[in-house]
Amino acid sequence: MSTQDQGEAAPRRPAIPELLIGLGMLAASAVVLWQTLAIPVSPLYSKVGPTVFPYITAAGMLVLSLLLLFAALRGGWQPEEEKATPTDWWSMFFVVAGLLANLFLIRPLGFTAASVIMFVLVCYGFGSRRPLRDMITGLILALSAYFGFAKVLGVNIGAGYVENLVSSAIRSIGG
């Protein structure tokens, strides 16, 4: 009678893909921490300055990466039937294309246009076949994020044609 027949589970091997994700997340948290340390902080700030949220983000990413690494070393977090599912490379292409489009288009087109393009491509990669709906949803989300940063926080995250057009429309309506 084998040890599996006696109710004991076979020792699990580390799941290499999940381990790589955990290590990538750990590296990303280190970069966030490193870049947060580079943010200049004026002595005029009270205890809550411009580095509070990046430090919280770095700490959260560190905790999550350690949990991912722990799970990966214990065999991974994916069920066996998911591990057997082949990767849909065509969908992955659209998700990566969306991220790259945002990276390369944010400067020439502005935050909103680049974000809408990214949103539509990522939605397509995840199976959506309603690009008009995705474009409208992406536009609402991107404009909300942009004006939240620009007007509420006073941070310009990349004004472009769309942002300038909306700002002009708001000014003309407001008088």
Is residue 110 situated within a structural domain?
A: yes
- Mean pLDDT taken over the chain: 89
| pLDDT band, very low/low/confident/very high, at 17 (cuts 50, 70, 90) | confident
Longest dimension (CA), the chain: 85
Query: How high is the pLDDT of residue 10?
Result: 55
Task: Check if the beta carbon of residue 138 is closer than 8 Å to that of residue 116.
Answer: yes
Residues 96 and 129 in one domain: yes
Stretch 36-46: mean pLDDT: 80
Residues 53 and 118 in one domain: no
Residues 47 and 75 in one domain: yes
Q: In sequence order, what DSSP letters do the residues of the chain get, joined into one string?
A: --TTTTTPPPPPPP-HHHHHHHHHHHHHHHHHHHHHHTS---TTS-SS-TTHHHHHHHHHHHHHHHHHHHHHHTT-SS-HHHHTSPP-HHHHHHHHHHHHHHHHHHHHH-HHHHHHHHHHHHHHHTT---HHHHHHHHHHHHHHHHHIIIIII---S---HHHHHHHHHHHHHH-
Query: How high is the pLDDT of residue 150?
Result: 87
Task: Check if the beta carbon of residue 117 is closer than 8 Å to that of residue 131.
Answer: no
| Domains contained in the chain, number | 2
The two tokens of residue 112 are 């909103």
In this model, does residue 117 exceed pLDDT 90?
yes
Residues 163 and 128 in one domain: yes
Stretch 58-72: mean pLDDT: 96
Residues 103 and 153 in one domain: yes
Residues 98 and 159 in one domain: yes
**pLDDT tens, residue by residue, 131-143:** 999 999 999 999 9
Residues 142 and 78 in one domain: no
Query: How high is the pLDDT of residue 92?
Result: 96
Query: How high is the pLDDT of residue 55?
Result: 95
Residues 72 and 93 in one domain: no
Residues 162 and 106 in one domain: yes
Query: How high is the pLDDT of residue 11?
Result: 57
Is residue 4 situated within a structural domain?
A: no
Residues 38 and 100 in one domain: no
Closest CA to 60 of 15, 29, 22: 29
Last residue of a domain, one of 36, 53, 83: 83
Stretch 120-147: mean pLDDT: 97
Residues 94 and 124 in one domain: yes
Stretch 2-14: mean pLDDT: 58
Residues 48 and 102 in one domain: no
Distance, CA of 164 to CA of 159 (rounded, Å): 7
Is residue 7 situated within a structural domain?
A: no
Last residue of a domain, one of 45, 68, 83: 83
Last residue of a domain, one of 52, 83, 114: 83
Is residue 2 situated within a structural domain?
A: no
In this model, does residue 58 exceed pLDDT 90?
yes
| pLDDT band, very low/low/confident/very high, at 62 (cuts 50, 70, 90) | very high
Stretch 67-88: mean pLDDT: 87
| pLDDT band, very low/low/confident/very high, at 45 (cuts 50, 70, 90) | low
Domain residues for the domain of 162 are 89-174
